[in-house]
Amino acid sequence: MSFVFSRSMRTYCLIFLIGFGVTGCNKSNVNPQDKTQRTRKVSQRFIFITNGDDPYFDVLNAGLQAGAEKFALADKGLEVVMEKNNATAQGQIDRLRQLVTQADVAGVAISVIQAENVAIVEEMKRLTEKGVSVITVDGDINQKLFSDGRPYYIGTDNSIAGRLLGTAGRKVLESRGITEGGFIQFTGFTDNDNARARMNGCREAIGKNYSEVDRMADSFDHSRARDNVRSALVNHPDVKALVGIWAYNAPAIAEVVAERGIRDQVSIFTFDAAAQAIEHMANGNIDCMIVQNPFEMGVQTVRLLLAMQEGQDAVLTSMFPDYDQPGGDKFTTGLRLIIPDAWENDEDAPISKKDLESAVSAGTLEVLSLSVFREWLKKYGLSSS
């Protein structure tokens, strides 16, 4: 048969040479940022799988790399990389499946996108069976349903975070003389564990005087985030407060409110400090923010994965002292409440440090004014948190 030399056959060969010639050069080059890793031959990897793509995770990545330096991963022939997911469950399932087939994966940290997704948990378990250390970071699985899904969780205690924001929000509303009314919460997915926990916590803490009118999801679509706010204002013109749950919801809310010119009619409380959100607060468009510490999450992730990899029981015990008790498998990173500079020393401000004494003394919360927070960011070369 002469097909061996047929034209189409030859061109298929060409297809692959071209296609993979381009990418084949890229064998061990992982990420232009990680140039430090190239000096030593890398034999194993820690992988961080996000739920979607957001600057929040860039901060977390900065923490991962800082942790890599701090704990000298390179000397141990390890490196840590972040893989950004495409905001679907299937994406995380596929990624986990790929990692199962790869021999150089030592540990996996994942911010789970859907807390009750059985397939994701099963893939995590498969990885664990292969001897890979698997933990959840920032987004957990539903512990009641899947108690053996993962040994540890690092991240914010989102229920507490939600409650803190709810408390702060209530104080702001009360100080403005609004004793009752509706509020609306905005997030990416309503089935995501951290989103749900925050929203429920906020609703609990804000109290019975205020009713939660709606929870609006935008599937990580930033333009839909804005459209949701617009629809909310149209459908519920007398809403008193808007709550942003994920990092990009804050600027969305602030912009639309500014666009409508109704800043004086609504109070705005948000999570996370996206770069634009910080600007908005400086301009007075956001009342207060609860900020997580993704940088710290990154550092602790590396520490934990290394400890699991090398069996450093001492580290494990110090990170999880109450492991046997409920909630003892969670390592919570700190929270901060950021308030505008104007409120710092003002006695009549809606919130002052005194109001949240108990939380502050427990170490779960730091209350910072905006400028102090900005300095902290600069210190670590970050633009958001």
Partner 1 sequence: MKLWSSFPLHAVRKWWPSNNEWSLLVAIVLAIVFTAIVDTNHTYFFRPMESLRDIARNSAMLGIFSLGAAVVIIAGGIDLSSGSMIALSGTVCSVTMLSLAPTEMMAFKPVGSAVVLIAVLASLLTGFFVGTLHTWLITVVRLPPFIATLATLVGLRSFARAVCESSTAVLTPTKSALINVADPAFKVVRENVWFSVGTFLVLAFLTWLMLSRTVLGRHLKALGGNEQAARLAGIHTENVKWFAYCFGAMTAALAGLFYIANESVAAPVNQGRGHELNAIAAAVVGGCSLSGGVGTVQGTVLGAFFLRVVIDAVSKIIKTGADVYEGLIVGVVVVLAVTFAQGVNGLRQDRRFLPGALGLCTIPVLALLAGSLASMTTGAASGLATGFTAFIALVALRIWESRSHGKRVQVSISG
> Is there binding between residue 41 and partner 1 (CB under 8 A)?
no
C-alpha distance from residue 5 to each of 2, 11, 12, 206 (Å): 6, 10, 11, 75
DSSP state of 329: T
| Rg of the chain, C-alpha, whole Å | 23
User: Closest distance between partner 1 and the C-beta of residue 86, in Å?
Assistant: 7
Q: For residue 362, how many other CB atoms are within 10 A of its CB? A: 10
Report, in Å, the least distance between residue 34 CB and partner 1.
Answer: 10
214-273 positions binding partner 1, by CB under 8 A: 217, 219
**Footprint of partner 1 on 189-218 (CB under 8 A):** 189-191, 217
Q: How many residues does the chain have?
A: 385
From 1-9, 176-184, 305-313, 322-330, span contacting partner 1 (CB under 8 A) = 1-9
Q: What is 87-136 written as a DSSP string?
A: SSHHHHHHHHHHHHH-TTEEEEEE--S-TT-HHHHHHHHHHHHTT-EEEE
Min separation Cβ 131 and partner 1, Å: 14
| Residue 118 interacts with partner 1 (CB under 8 A): yes or no | yes
Q: Does 147 bind partner 1 (CB under 8 A)?
A: no
Could you give phi then psi for residue 53, rounded to 5 degrees? -110, 120
Nearest to 271, CA basis, from 204, 213, 225, 337: 337
Residue 6 burial (CB < 10 Å; 0-12/13-18/19+)?
exposed
Instruction: Please say which residue, 16 or 323, places its beta carbon nearer to partner 1.
Output: 16
Give the nearest distance from C-beta 73 to partner 1 in angstroms. Answer: 15
- Count CB-CB contacts under 10 A for residue 174: 14
Exactly one of 33, 53, 69, 97 binds partner 1 (CB under 8 A); that residue is 97
81 part of the interface to partner 1, by CB under 8 A: yes
Nearest distance from C-beta of residue 155 to partner 1, angstroms: 22
Residues lying near partner 1 in the complex (CB under 8 A) are found at 3, 6-9, 11-16, 18-20, 22-31, 45, 47, 81, 83-84, 86-90, 93, 97-98, 100-104, 114, 116-120, 122, 145, 189-191, 217, 219
